[in-house]
Amino acid sequence: MDRSILLHAQGLKKAFGGQIVLNELDLELRQGEVVLLRGENGSGKTTLLNILTGNLEPDAGTLQYPYRKNKNPGRTGTRIKAHPLWALARSANMFLAGKTPRAYRFPRRRWQDINPFDHFTPEFVTREGVSRTWQDVRLFNTQTLRDNIAVAEPGHPGENPLIALFAPRLWVRREKRINREADAMLARLGLTGREDSSADKISLGQSKRVAIARSVAAGARILFLDEPLAGLDRQGIDDVLALLRSLVIEEQITLVIVEHIFNQQHLEGLITTDWLLENGRIKNAGNVEGWGERSEPQQKPELRQSHVGVRSSPQPTIPSTVIPAGNAGIQCQGWQQTKTDSLSHIAQRPPWFQLLAGDSDDIEIIDEPLPRGALLTRIRRPGAYKGPSSPILEIRGLIIERGRRPVIGLNAEGGLAGLDLTLYRGETTILQAPNGWGKSTLIAALAGFIPVRKGTIRLQGNPLDASPSWDRVRAGLRVLPSDRFIFPDLSGQEALKLSGSAGSSTNTFTVEPPSLLGRKYASLSGGERRQIALAGFHGGVLGVCDEPFDALDEETTRRAVGYLLSAMKTLLIAEPYRDNVTELNRSLKQGIQDAEAGRGRFV
C-alpha cells in the first residue's frame, strides 16, 4: 500500500431493511487531505462515517489501515523512561487490547468474534489513528475541561490498575504529564484559565473545539467531523476553522467533513477533495444539480488529488445580492428597505428567510433589536396577522438561570433587567442571536423543561410560567427542540404514534423516503431525525422551533418551510446569528407559493 494512504475501503455494502445505502463503495484517504463529503439527506453519509470509525459493520467489503509501530509519533507523552512495571503493564495492554489487524473483511466469520484480539469496534479502530466528532457535542459535562481531554490520551494510567497498585509514583508522574499536555491543548484553544471549569459552563463553539482537541489527544491521524460548524455564529465558525487549519498544516492530520449545505461556503480554501455520495457510491463531484454556480477556490492546484471522488470543478459563489437585516428603525415592505435610524451593522438574512417571507409586496417585515446583540424579525402577512390587539405570547421581566449563572434577562451591560417580548397572532417571528445568548434556554423555559427565576409567561392571556409541560401542550404550545432526540430504540413510525401524527392524512410533513419510518431513530442521520421530528410537530396555536432547518438539504428545507407555514399560524424560529451566509437558490421561492396555494399536506 502507498505509505501516503491512511485508509483504503473497497466494495463496502450496507442495507437497512432491504434499502441499499452503500453499494460497492470504494475510497482512499491520504495524509493531510481535507475531504468534504456531500450528499442528499438519506444518501448514507452518516452510515459511511459510522462504518469507517468502527461504529457499524458493513454487510460486505474490506477496510484496510496501514501498520504503524508508533501510534503517536512526535507526542511527548509517549516518550516515557523505561520502568519494569511500566513495561509489563504496557505489554499487557498491547496483548489484551493492542494492535488491530491491518485489514477487516466483511462479512466476518463467527470465530473472529470469539477472538479478543480481532474485534471491529470503535476502540480498536481508534488505536489505528481514526477518530470522529458527532453532530451533538459529546463531552462529559460534569468533568473539567482538562479531564475531558486527558481521558483520551493513549496509555492513560487509569486504563491499567497494575500501575496504580505497584508503581504509584510512576502513575503520578504520568498523570501530571498528561494533564500538562491537556492544559497546553486548552491554551491552544484560547481557554487558558478554564482548565478546571466543567464542560457545561462553556459555549457551543468552545465545546466543539474541545471535542476536536480530545480526538487529537487520542492520537487521531484521520478525523471525521459531522457538521462541526452547525449552530455556530461567525466568531465560532472562524475559531473552529482556525483550529482545523492548524491541525492540517502543523500535524498533517487528514480531515473528512460532513457539513450542512449552508455552511459549506465557509470551507473554501480548506477543502482539497470533494466527495459526492450518490446511489451508494462516491462519485466525481463535478457540476452537480443543487450545488449551484461555481467559482474556483483560492487554493494551490498541487493540493488537488487525482483519485476517485475528487472535484476538479469550482465551488459555489456567494450571491452578490443580499437582503440586509439591520438594527433598530428598519422596516421593509416586500424587499424594499427604508432606513429610519442610523444603522450600526448590516447582516444577512438566514438562507431560508426568503422562503418564509415570500415575494408579495404586501408583506411587512420589521426588525427589532433585543439586548446583547440579538435581533427579532417579524414577518406579517395580510390576512394572517391580526394586529397588535391580538397578542398570543407575552413575556414580561423574564430571568432564567443555568446553575447560578443568569442567561436570559441580562441587559447590554450584563445587569439583570428581565426580558420583555410579545408575539402577535399570525406572525412568523425569527430570533437571531449569538451562541451563548440563551436561545435554547429560552425555548426550554417556554416548554417548561427548566424553571424561571423571575417573570411571567402568558399564552393567549393564560399564565404558563408555573405550569408543567403537559399543561402547556394542552394550552396549544408546540416546541421543536434543536437536539432532535427521541427515544432511540423506537422506530420513526412509533415516534409519530406518540406525537399523535400517525395515520393523519392531512397537514402532515411527508418523510422522504417513507422507509425511514421503519428504522430505529438511533440509526438515522441528523437530517433524517429532523424529518421525523417535523412530522410529529403539528397542531397548537403557537409553534416554537429551535433551528428547524438544521441538517436539511435544499429540497427538504423547501418542504419544511411550506409545512411549517401551513401547520402553524404563528411561529417563533430561533437561529444562531450569522453575518456571512448565502441565500438559497432563487428557484426555492416556489416553496412559499406552494404553501400559500395549498395550506394542506405539503409534499
DSSP-based three-state secondary structure for 510: coil
φ/ψ of residue 51, rounded to 5: -70, -45
- Pair 358, 293 in one domain: no
- Quick one: pLDDT at residue 261? 73
pLDDT greater at residue 295 or residue 593: 593
**pLDDT digit string, tens, across residues 169-189:** 887 888 899 999 999 999 988
Tell whether 529 is covered by a domain: no
- Pair 271, 205 in one domain: yes
Using only the alpha carbons of the chain, give its radius of gyration. 26
Q: Residue 401: pLDDT above 60? A: yes
- Quick one: pLDDT at residue 545? 93
pLDDT greater at residue 339 or residue 555: 555
Alpha carbon distance 134, 163 (integer Å): 32
Q: Residue 580: pLDDT above 80? A: no
- Quick one: pLDDT at residue 433? 86
Q: Residue 449: pLDDT above 60? A: yes
- Quick one: pLDDT at residue 342? 30
pLDDT greater at residue 378 or residue 309: 378
Tell whether 325 is covered by a domain: no
Q: Residue 209: pLDDT above 80? A: yes
Which of residues 275, 296, 316 is at a domain's end? 316
- Quick one: pLDDT at residue 348? 57
Place of cell 392531512: 506
Mean pLDDT (the chain) is 76
- Pair 294, 393 in one domain: no
- Pair 288, 375 in one domain: no
Tell whether 524 is covered by a domain: no
- Quick one: pLDDT at residue 567? 86
What contacts 593, CB < 8 A, 6 or more positions away? Answer: 358
Q: Residue 402: pLDDT above 80? A: no
Residue 138 binned pLDDT confidence (cut-offs 50, 70, 90): confident
Looking at 219-223, 283-287, 378-382, 443-447, which range is the least confident one?
A: 283-287
pLDDT greater at residue 501 or residue 238: 238
Alpha carbon distance 164, 321 (integer Å): 64
Tell whether 175 is covered by a domain: yes
- Pair 13, 77 in one domain: yes
Per-residue pLDDT averaged across 127-138, rounded?
A: 86
Residue 128 binned pLDDT confidence (cut-offs 50, 70, 90): confident
- Quick one: pLDDT at residue 37? 94
Range among 10-19, 245-254, 333-342 with highest mean pLDDT value: 245-254
Closest C-alpha among 231, 233, 229 to residue 271? 229
Q: Residue 454: pLDDT above 60? A: yes
**One-letter amino acid of 163:** I
- Quick one: pLDDT at residue 415? 79
Paired with 34 in beta bridges are 255
Q: Residue 576: pLDDT above 50? A: yes
User: Residues 308, 276: contact at Cβ < 8 Å?
Assistant: no
Query: Cα torsion at 350, 578, 544, 209 (round to 10°)?
Result: 130
Per-residue pLDDT averaged across 240-256, rounded?
A: 94
Grid cell listed for 212? 476536536
Q: How many domains does the chain have?
A: 2
Alpha carbon distance 202, 189 (integer Å): 12
What contacts 306, CB < 8 A, 6 or more positions away? Answer: none
Per-residue pLDDT averaged across 377-395, rounded?
A: 86
- Quick one: pLDDT at residue 40? 79
- Quick one: pLDDT at residue 71? 42
- Pair 99, 35 in one domain: yes
Alpha carbon distance 511, 488 (integer Å): 18
Q: Residue 201: pLDDT above 80? A: yes
- Quick one: pLDDT at residue 98? 43
What contacts 53, CB < 8 A, 6 or more positions away? Answer: 122, 125, 130, 131, 132, 224
Q: Residue 508: pLDDT above 60? A: yes
- Pair 257, 377 in one domain: no
Tell whether 336 is covered by a domain: no
**pLDDT > 70: what percent of the chain?**
74
- Quick one: pLDDT at residue 57? 92
- Quick one: pLDDT at residue 17? 66
Range among 2-6, 213-217, 490-494, 495-499 with highest mean pLDDT value: 213-217
Alpha carbon distance 166, 557 (integer Å): 59
Domain that residue 60 falls in: 5-316
DSSP 389: T
Q: Residue 301: pLDDT above 60? A: no
- Quick one: pLDDT at residue 321? 27
- Quick one: pLDDT at residue 91? 46
Per-residue pLDDT averaged across 78-96, rounded?
A: 44
Tell whether 93 is covered by a domain: yes
**pLDDT digit string, tens, across residues 15-72:** 886 678 999 999 999 999 999 999 877 788 989 999 999 989 999 999 998 655 444 4
CA angle 326-332-335, nearest 5°?
Answer: 100
pLDDT greater at residue 276 or residue 414: 276
- Pair 306, 350 in one domain: no
- Quick one: pLDDT at residue 463? 94
Tell whether 458 is covered by a domain: yes
**pLDDT digit string, tens, across residues 534-568:** 998 888 899 999 989 887 888 888 899 989 988 88
Paired with 544 in beta bridges are 479, 572
**pLDDT digit string, tens, across residues 477-489:** 999 988 666 777 8
In whole angstroms, what separates CA 429 from the centre of its chain?
Answer: 23
Per-residue pLDDT averaged across 294-304, rounded?
A: 33
Pairing of strands 281-284, 294-295: unpaired
**pLDDT > 90: what percent of the chain?**
33
- Pair 468, 572 in one domain: yes
Which of residues 294, 316, 338 is at a domain's end? 316
- Pair 297, 420 in one domain: no
| CATH number (domain holding residue 400) | 3.40.50.300
- Pair 303, 364 in one domain: no
- Pair 9, 140 in one domain: yes
Paired with 479 in beta bridges are 544
Tell whether 43 is covered by a domain: yes
- Quick one: pLDDT at residue 578? 58
